[in-house]
Every structure is written in C-alpha cells, then in structure tokens.
Amino acid sequence: MSRIRIALQLYSIREECNRDLAGCLKAVADMGYEGVEFAGYYGYDAEKLREILDRYGLEIAGSHIGVNALLEDSFDNTVEFNRTLGNRFIIVPGLPEYMRNSRDRWIETANLFDRLADKLRRHGIRIGYHNHTLEFKPIDGEIPWDIFFRNTKREVVMQLDTGNAMRAGVTVDEILDIVRRYPGRAVTVHLKEYSKKSEKVVIGEGEMRWREFIDLCLDVGGTEWFIVEQESYPYPPLECVKRCIDNLKRILGI
C-alpha cells in the first residue's frame, strides 16, 4: 500500500485560525497532520504563509478558491499567489447558479475547467472540483457529478467529500463506485464523517467505511492527500480535529 498522507482542511478550525493562525498550524502539526488545505488566507500574503508552513514542517495539500478567481484579469494574480505558496492543487468548492442550472450548463462548465486545466498545467498546478450536496441531486434526469466528470479531462481532480455526498443520500457503496468509475482522479479527497443518528460526529463515530474507502483510493483513485474536514462540533474544534486523526490512525493501524 502507498503511504497515507493526511492533511487538515483549515476551514474546520477557521475561527481559531482567525485568532492565531501560526498557533493553529503548530497545533495541527503536533497532532500528526502532514499538510493543510486552505479556504482563505486570514490576511496573510503567500510568502508569509509559506514561511509559517515551513516553520512547522507542513506541506500544502491544496486551496479552495472560487472559480471567478481563475477568470480573466484575476487569473495571473491567483497563479502567482499559489506558485509562491507552493500549492499544486486549486480546488473549486462550488459554482455560481448560472454555471450549474441545467445539463448543458454543467457541460459548458466542464469545458471551462478543461481550458483552465490547460492554462494551469504550464504553471505546475492542477484544478479540481469539490462537492457539496447539490452535485448528487438529479438535473434533467442525470446526476451533475457524473455530467461534469464524464465531460472533463482526467487531469481535472475529483475531490470527493464523503460526508457531503452521504448527506445528499449517496450510500457508502455508491461512494466506492464513484472512485472506481473515475480511476486516477481522486487525487485529493475529503474525509468527513456522516451519521443518520447525529450531525455531530467525528471520524470513526459514523457510518463511513473508512478503511475500505482509503484502500480503494490508494489502489484505484490515485490519491495523494486524504484531507480531514470537520463542520460539526461535538467538542471544541481543535479537539475535534485531534480526535479525527487519532481515530483515523487507529482504524488504519498507522
């Protein structure tokens, strides 16, 4: 089995990061996370962020960036920021309604992502898309997730969020089938727990079959980063993400 690399999506502890980003990054590194994924930069420039990450031995597993930051006049600034940061994965975490309100719009958006993938390749960066729940709600008789990924190049990263998919009614077996259906495209994935009994659960306390999912990602998905994300809090946020990685390591025997 390939080595499992675990990162944290910093949105999980966003309020704490707003108060003390450096302190949070140190705490995350001390917990055993090897990397982080950004969703906002807390007022820091790319050089300072890179300095803090290096100080605590953290890698960057990606950044969530709105699609508008990749269009027209914004493109060059976005690329320069991410190159300075050392980020290889720009992940779009949702779309404006006009880009997703019909099957044809989803195909047009897929074509846009292919063009952006070509432009970003020159800079050593890949683009990807991250699901919430709407991507699994049928539109014009088809599932938007499949419309999009059937019509994009293999180079476009499929960042599957397990918890969001399950909240949309996708079963664990169907999640596993998604990874199989798009081999080599789950380059980064979001590990988020789900339970019908309670919204406030951390990894290992819900219904996801983590060992099976991660083994499949490594064998079929081409996964480089497993990114923990926590959006409900049975404990304080920093304790939640500590429990997540501790439970995950116990499940995986690492």
Residue 229 lies in a domain: yes
Residue 1 lies in a domain: no
Domain count, the chain: 1
Taking residue 123's Cβ as centre, other Cβ atoms within 10 Å add up to: 14
- pTM above threshold 0.85: yes
Q: What are phi and psi of 114, to 5 degrees?
A: -65, -40
Q: What is the pLDDT along the chain (254 residues), one digit of tens a residue?
A: 468 999 999 999 999 999 999 999 999 999 999 999 999 999 999 999 999 999 999 999 999 999 999 999 999 999 999 999 999 999 999 999 999 999 999 999 999 999 999 999 999 999 999 999 999 999 989 999 999 999 999 999 999 999 999 999 999 999 999 999 999 999 999 999 999 999 899 999 999 999 999 999 999 999 999 999 999 999 999 999 999 999 999 999 98
- Residue 233 to residue 238: CA distance in whole angstroms: 10
Domain that holds residue 35: 6-252
Residue 128 lies in a domain: yes
Residue 106 lies in a domain: yes
CATH number at residue 171: 3.20.20.150
